[in-house]
Amino acid sequence: MNKSLDFIYRHFVGIEKDDLEYVYRGEVTPHLVMDILDFAKTNLAKANDTRKMRSRIYYIMGEGLQNITMHQADSSDMDSKSTAIVVIYKRGHKYIIATGNLMLRDDEIALKRKLETINHLDADGLKELSRETRTTVGITAKGGASLGLIEMAKRSGNKLDYMIKPIDDKYSYFYLTTEIETSDELDNEETKVGYSISDLVETHDMFNRNSYNLSFKGDFNQDNLLSLLSILKSGMDESPTRIKLYGVMVELLQNIVKHADNIDDNTDWKAGVFYICEHSDRFSLMAGNYICKEHSEAIAARIDRLNGMTYAELTKEYNKTLFNFNNDPISTGLGFIDIRRKTGTKIEYSMIEASPEKDFLMLKVDIIKS
């Protein structure tokens, strides 16, 4: 066991059905914006919100993401600090869309003025400002971005929470969060969880420090899996590495979709967490999910056994399992073998007791860049 993986469980706060936390760090292109919005649409469709509310949330997400593509500064001389960050967060009745992107210090004053103006207006004031901006501003990227900020405030009914963090003489980092309440019911104080600017900054720092590109906490179902795969494809040019990454990701995520248990025996959904990290020489994929304690030993034994096999032995095991036609709809037994063969690296794992009946299983797989 690799106990250094236990941080996955510590970061995995037990979430309720329909909650989610999605974080992406990287280049935000128009194609990626569409993929992220599709991902959001899939999740929104499953929640218990009205169609009107879902449209509103979707629209605000779109504006927030387009803000990045229109607002962000070009910077070929920056490293990870230049990449954008997108967080979609849902807990109970709260949706929070949080973004971060590089900006020019020269634009700071104008941006602050705009945001302060927006935050001081009431609903009628925002409506009027939106109308004025549409009729007087030319079709420029910055003009479009102004309108975007106004629309986010108007439609969320909340202030835009922001921070501008200087990096050097030329650049700052612009963080923005928008909160949308989907219900007039107040959450219990105990369950009322928000996502503040300081949470966003902390997430960004964590992602930069650990080279995370993507994380997802929520319901692991086929739709979410397909959205995450699509986001992977958008974010990377086709290459032998991406093909391998895709294949391993499918097996890791479908492992959760099909095999994971839940902390409370609810079989409606599968709570899990997933990370993609990129290092100079490899990608690391990490996943975590609940399992019944009665399966823990067998899973550990299986992984240990596969980790001890050579490629030839794994191929023999693969063929033996391939021809085993018990047609178990849940498990082919091939997933871990496939991961070992494709990556050529060992499957690292750890388990932590989550309850008297359940453990939390964490897996890590490395894909060496070719």
Partner 1 sequence: MKPLVKEPTVDTPRVTLDADKGIFELAQMSLPEDAVDFYAPILAWFAEYSKKPNPKTVFDMKLEYFNTASSKQLIQILLLLQGLTDKSQIVINWYYKEIDEDMQGLGEEYSQIINLPFNLIPLPKAVK
SS3 for 187?
A: coil
Sorted by sequence, the CB contacts under 8 Å of residue 213 that are 6+ apart come out as 24, 25, 26, 207, 235, 276, 277, 278
Rounded to a whole number of angstroms, the minimum distance from the CB of residue 96 to partner 1 is 28
Task: Find the angle CA(249)-CA(60)-CA(197) to the nearest 5 degrees.
Answer: 75
> What does the block give as tokens for 230?
């699509």
Q: Under the criterion CB under 8 A, does residue 34 sit at the interface with partner 1? A: no
Q: Under the criterion CB under 8 A, does residue 338 sit at the interface with partner 1? A: yes
Q: Which of 109, 204, 207, 120 is nearest to 164 (CA)?
A: 109
Q: Under the criterion CB under 8 A, does residue 282 sit at the interface with partner 1? A: no
Q: Under the criterion CB under 8 A, does residue 329 sit at the interface with partner 1? A: yes
SS3 annotation, 322-362 = HCCCCCCCCCCCCHHHHHHHHHCCCCEEEEEECCCCEEEEE
Q: Under the criterion CB under 8 A, does residue 345 sit at the interface with partner 1? A: no
Identified binder of partner 1 from the candidate list 251, 263, 345, 369, rule CB under 8 A: 251
**17-25, 147-155, 170-178, 222-230 -> range binding partner 1 (CB under 8 A):** 222-230
Residues making up the chain, counted from first to last? 370
Q: Under the criterion CB under 8 A, does residue 238 sit at the interface with partner 1? A: yes
Identified binder of partner 1 from the candidate list 191, 239, 266, 355, rule CB under 8 A: 239
Identified binder of partner 1 from the candidate list 10, 77, 122, 325, rule CB under 8 A: 325
DSSP H helix total and E strand total for the chain: 12, 10
**8-16, 47-55, 263-271, 326-334 -> range binding partner 1 (CB under 8 A):** 326-334
- What does the binding site for partner 1 look like in residue numbers (CB under 8 A)? 222, 226, 230, 238-240, 243-244, 246-247, 250-251, 254, 257-258, 315, 319, 322-323, 325, 327, 329, 332, 334-335, 337-338, 342
